[in-house]
Structure 1
Amino acid sequence: MTPTHLPGRVAIPSLPTVLDAFNSAPAHDARALLMDCLHSPRWVERLASHRPYPDVDSLLAASDEAAYDLTPADLAEALAAETLPVLPEGIYGAAHTALNAANAAYEAKFGHAFVICLDDLAPAEALDYVLHAIRSRLANDPDDERVLTAEELRRLAKGRLVRALRGAGNCATSPNGAAPGNKQAGPPH
């Protein structure tokens, strides 16, 4: 912690952020946090080994770059740990039945769980969005779906990383509450 010196004022130590804690954490702790974001040892190792990060935007850029560089085997390993997105409580049983049926068809065709990032979506819109997306993506050929799935995994990892760093009232996010590097655009179609 470096004190901030203001002319004619008492030096005030700067407060540590969650990013500071991540940067200085033992390697196994940093890797554990990252593994919760994306279950890819290659992605985890790359991010953990490049610490310290000067700011959250640098960490998020490194996360994106590492996700783009994952091999098909790395993606398969990360996908093996994924499950269907968690939907808001109170969704009625027929919707779960429809979602489970669509997911079973998806897994039969592509060999892995359907993944989608719901970060910029209102909870009330999640079920319709997921059902529409899974049904439309069932029409993809495996190569096109692999590209979309890799992008969704990258978005999931980035969102999880931001939430892990956000903490309660720390400086890892911008003052308006938006995550650095996360444009508040709607979900991709």
Structure 2
Amino acid sequence: MTPTHLPGRVAIPSLPEQTRTPRSQYALESFNATPVDEVRQTLLACLHSARWADRIADHRPYPDAESLLAASDEAAYDLTPADLAQALAWETLPALPEGAYSAAHTALSAAYAAYEAKFGHAFIICLDGLSHTEALDHVLAGIRSRLANDPEEERVVAAEELRRLARGRLVNALRGAGNGATSHHGAASGIDPHIPPH
């Protein structure tokens, strides 16, 4: 089966504390009521680990968005090396911001190749809260710094980046899935979007 790669690498920042609005509660109720196969596909699009997705789906219903995100974090912290390898295999490289100069593309291509040769998977990084202009420098600095890691150190860093990405993608799924957005299977995910952006 060919992986369905997620565009870019910019995760949505965490939900603000004011998430218990009627609209956000409606989104959560929809998430809680979505059939398990559908919610599992939505979760796998956030982090491609069957164990992570099953754990979150099986612990529904969640009383509030904070509980759901806490469960996401806890399940991500519990990824085994095999779970981590499965999730990393489905990740793609970070997308460069529009208008990035060609020298940046050249520098990043070389850095990505060196990273993949050393660690055996795509470089991932969460860019929460960064502007497009800051993102490029952050990615370049991150990959240069992390190339100095040994494989075990980098496994820990990559696991944390995956956790942050999964959290942001889950927030995004709750916010946007009901706006006519479709899953990679072409059907609506069943999760209502009514968590307002902050």
On whether the aligned pair clears a TM of 0.5, the verdict is: yes
Aligned residue in 2 for 1:106 = 115
Q: Which moved more, 1:114-123 or 1:150-159?
A: 114-123
For the aligned residues, what is the CA RMSD? 1.8
Q: Which has the higher contact order (CA 8 A, sep 6+)?
A: 2
For 2:62, the equivalent position in structure 1 comes to: 53
Q: How far apart, CA to CA, are the structure 1 residues paired with 2:155 and 2:123? A: 11
**Unpaired runs of 5+ in structure 1?**
1-13, 178-189
Which one of 72, 76, 89 corresponds to residue 85 of structure 2?
Answer: 76
Moved more, 82-91 or 104-113: 82-91
Determine which structure has more spread, i.e. the larger CA radius of gyration. 1
- The one-letter amino acid of 1:21's match is S
Given residue 99 of structure 2, which amino acid in structure 1 is its aligned partner? G
Deviation at 1:87, TM superposition (A): 2.4
1:5-44 alpha-carbon deviations (Å, 9 max, x no partner): xxxxxxxxx6662211111011111011101100000000
TM-score, reference length from structure 2? 0.77
Amino acid at match of 2:131: A
Name the structure 1 match of 2:73.
64
TM-score by length of 1: 0.81
1:17 aligns to what SS in structure 2? helix
Q: Which residue does the alignment assign to 2:183?
A: none
- Is 1:26 the counterpart of 2:49 in the alignment? no
Q: Does 1:118 align with 2:97?
A: no
Three-state SS of the structure 1 residue aligned to 2:104 is helix
The partner residue of 1:160 within 147, 159, 169 is 169
**Structure 2 residue 106 is the aligned partner of structure 1 residue 97:** yes
Contact between 2:174 and 2:194, CA under 8 Å: does it hold in 1? no
Q: Could you tell me which residue of structure 1 aligns to residue 195 of structure 2?
A: 172
Which of 14-23 and 38-47 deviates more? 14-23
Pick one of 142, 148, 163 that aligns with 2:151: 142
Taking the aligned partners of 2:193 and 2:162, their CA distance within structure 1 comes to 26
Residue of structure 1 in register with 2:137 after alignment: 128
